[in-house]
């Protein structure tokens, strides 16, 4: 009888231990599922932020083509003074600055004209002095500039001028260029 009571007691203990093991398996499974969901959420957030950042950058340069242009009517090269006169027109768009690339012979120089008034080496406003402040035209406006090619280190006249706008801190592809630079 003692043996059967001992056996019953051992069986009850074994059942309790097995039930506890079953609970720990369920808890472990739930923990793994919860951990997986948290990792998926973190990964989703990181990927979504990266994609949104790239989309914002690419959207800032969309629809800019033709909105910043060279006005060929006021663009020419003066052989006597060795100065390039060029005119920038901006339609209904806000830009931080415009990178102007001027090519002549085998060399190219770039300068950045921004919305802030500042002096730029060898660049002046039309009918102004080289010490005068220059800035971009406003929306739906145009301005003409004079660039001293000799002072900037060019030995030839300008072959090409190209405009690349900077929008929201990102430089876009060239929005306009001109290889038809007449003599003034």
What pLDDT is recorded for position 118?
A: 93
Which of the two residues, 25 and 23, has the higher pLDDT score?
25
Q: Is the pLDDT of residue 113 over 70?
A: yes
User: What is the average pLDDT score of the chain?
Assistant: 84
Lookup: tokens for 99: 């990178």
Residue 172 and residue 116 share a domain = yes
What pLDDT is recorded for position 60?
A: 65
> What does the DSSP assignment read for 18-56?
HHHHHHHHHHHHHHHHHHHHHHHHHHHHHHHHHHHHHHH
Rounded CA separation 74/97 (Å):
20
Domain boundary (31, 60, 89) is at 60
Tell me the residue range of the domain where 121 lies: 68-183
What pLDDT is recorded for position 135?
A: 93
Which of the two residues, 33 and 1, has the higher pLDDT score?
33
Residue 119 and residue 78 share a domain = yes
Q: What is the pLDDT confidence band of residue 180, given thresholds at 50, 70 and 90?
A: confident
Tally of domains in the chain: 2
Domain boundary (60, 81, 108) is at 60
Q: For the purposes of burial, counting CB atoms within 10 Å of the CB of 154, is it exposed (0-12), middle (13-18) or buried (19 or more)? A: buried
Residue 158 and residue 102 share a domain = yes
Residue 37 and residue 56 share a domain = yes
Could you tell me which of 155, 180, 132, 131 has the C-alpha nearest to residue 82? 155
Rounded CA separation 75/83 (Å):
11
Which of the two residues, 25 and 142, has the higher pLDDT score?
142
What pLDDT is recorded for position 17?
A: 58
Whether this model's pTM surpasses 0.85? no
How far CA 143 is from CA of 28, 29, 157, 163, in Å, comes to 71, 70, 21, 14
> How does pLDDT run across 27-86, given as a tens digit for each residue?
788 888 988 999 899 999 888 888 877 766 566 677 777 789 999 899 999 999 999 999
Which of the two residues, 49 and 16, has the higher pLDDT score?
49
Residue 175 and residue 85 share a domain = yes
């Amino acid at each position: 009888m003692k043996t059967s009571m001992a056996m019953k007691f051992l069986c009850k203990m074994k059942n309790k231990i097995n039930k506890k093991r079953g609970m720990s398996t369920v808890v472990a499974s739930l923990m793994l599922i919860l951990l997986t969901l948290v990792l998926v959420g973190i990964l989703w957030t990181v990927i979504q932020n990266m994609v949104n950042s790239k989309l914002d950058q690419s959207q800032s340069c969309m629809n800019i083509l033709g909105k910043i242009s060279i006005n060929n009517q006021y663009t020419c090269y003066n052989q006597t003074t060795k100065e390039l006169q060029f005119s920038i027109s901006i339609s209904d768009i806000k830009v931080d600055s415009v990178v102007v690339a001027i090519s002549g012979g085998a060399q190219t120089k770039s300068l950045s004209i921004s919305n802030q008034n500042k002096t730029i080496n060898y660049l002046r406003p039309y009918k102004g002095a080289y010490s005068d402040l220059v800035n971009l035209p406003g929306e739906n406006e145009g301005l003409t500039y004079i660039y001293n090619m000799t002072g900037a280190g060019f030995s030839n006249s300008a072959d090409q001028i190209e405009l690349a706008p900077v929008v929201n801190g990102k430089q876009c592809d060239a929005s306009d260029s001109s290889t038809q630079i007449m003599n003034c």
